[in-house]
Amino acid sequence: MARDPSRSRPKRRARALWATGGPAWLAACEGPQSALSAGGSNAGAILELTLVLFIGGGVIFLAVMGLAGYAVFARPDRFPGTRAWIVGGGIVFPVVALTALQIHEFAVARRLAAQGSADMLRVEVTGRMWWWDVRYGDGPDAVRTANEIVIPAGRPVEFVVKAADVIHSFWVPSLAGKIDMIPGLDNRLVLVGEKPGVYRGQCAEYCGAQHALMAFDVIVEPPERFDAWLAAQRQPAAAPADPALTAGRDAFLKIGCGACHTVRGTPAAGVLGPDLTHVGGRRRLAAGTLPNGAEALAGWIVGAQHIKPDNRMPSFPILDGESLRAVAAWLESLT
């Protein structure tokens, strides 16, 4: 029988390394929510600053420890130039090193602040307990969505962030630094997503019981796919394609979901909860809590308070099974 080439010694060794700790090491740096895996120039600049501080600090720490060890174990009369060490290492070196770092930090901060251009896309994101209300544009062309932000690759995006209730913090580690969302104040963050992909964001300021379940996705798309997405989002909800979906829409309106949710193209025009006009096209539900789909939608409708206690969406256990399935199927069809 031929020898399996994949069992050669280096491969075995690599596999053993992988099994013993490789994944853990790599998992710490990769993934959709890692400041160590930059998906754009802003996160890249912050990563560069982080590495300069980390490596520089590490080198200085080791040098100081080495000198301290030498001072402890060498005879005092053999430690030359004590005065020069104190003046040089205690005053001159910190002043020079910290000044250089400060200048470097200012340069990076300037680079981060200077971004922006005439064709910048403006996206307004409002933090609410505990989800993200996202708006593109104003007037009749405005698009409102939730917990998912699609942006074009390579084009600067200006996020104007607000808060509706308490302080939240908008953070997508792979794309940029964090910025607080403060009630009564509009904060601004400009970033560029260069690598198309899905990046995970998370609220970074404790904002109540479900702070941990307040995540979102930023999806960086090539410009033409972004334009197509935005054009599709501008459309009202698709008319139900069959009687079962029509029954779902009717049940949704009958039990009063429209008091909090908007579905453009239907009488539902509430503004307290997420806009559901294209909810079926989103990846996740309830701010990253559940993977989207008819089953998750049904589970969320009957058990919102069980899944995410104290959120503003009441559970609807009163709905009979048939109506529940119909509502969930209709919502899933709204892509």
C-alpha to C-alpha distance for 90 and 64, rounded to whole angstroms: 11
- Give the shortest CB-307-to-ligand CUA separation in angstroms: 17
> Whose Cβ is closer to ligand CUA: residue 194's or residue 205's?
205
- Give the shortest CB-186-to-ligand CUA separation in angstroms: 17
> Whose Cβ is closer to ligand CUA: residue 203's or residue 268's?
203
- Give the shortest CB-265-to-ligand CUA separation in angstroms: 31
Positions in the binding site for ligand CUA (CB under 6 A): 127, 130, 168, 203, 205-207, 211, 214
Q: Are 168 and 181 in contact (CB under 8 A)?
A: yes
Nearest to 123 by CA among 97, 93, 143, 106: 143
Burial 153-178 (b: 16+ CB within 10 A, else e): bebbbbbebbbeebebbbbbbbbbbb
- Give the shortest CB-130-to-ligand CUA separation in angstroms: 6
> Whose Cβ is closer to ligand CUA: residue 45's or residue 163's?
163
C-alpha to C-alpha distance for 39 and 198, rounded to whole angstroms: 10
Q: Are 39 and 197 in contact (CB under 8 A)?
A: yes
Amino acid (1-letter code) at residue 325:
R
- Give the shortest CB-169-to-ligand CUA separation in angstroms: 7
> Whose Cβ is closer to ligand CUA: residue 310's or residue 322's?
310
> Whose Cβ is closer to ligand CUA: residue 171's or residue 330's?
171
Angle of the 321-333 helix axis to the 294-307 helix axis, nearest 10: 110
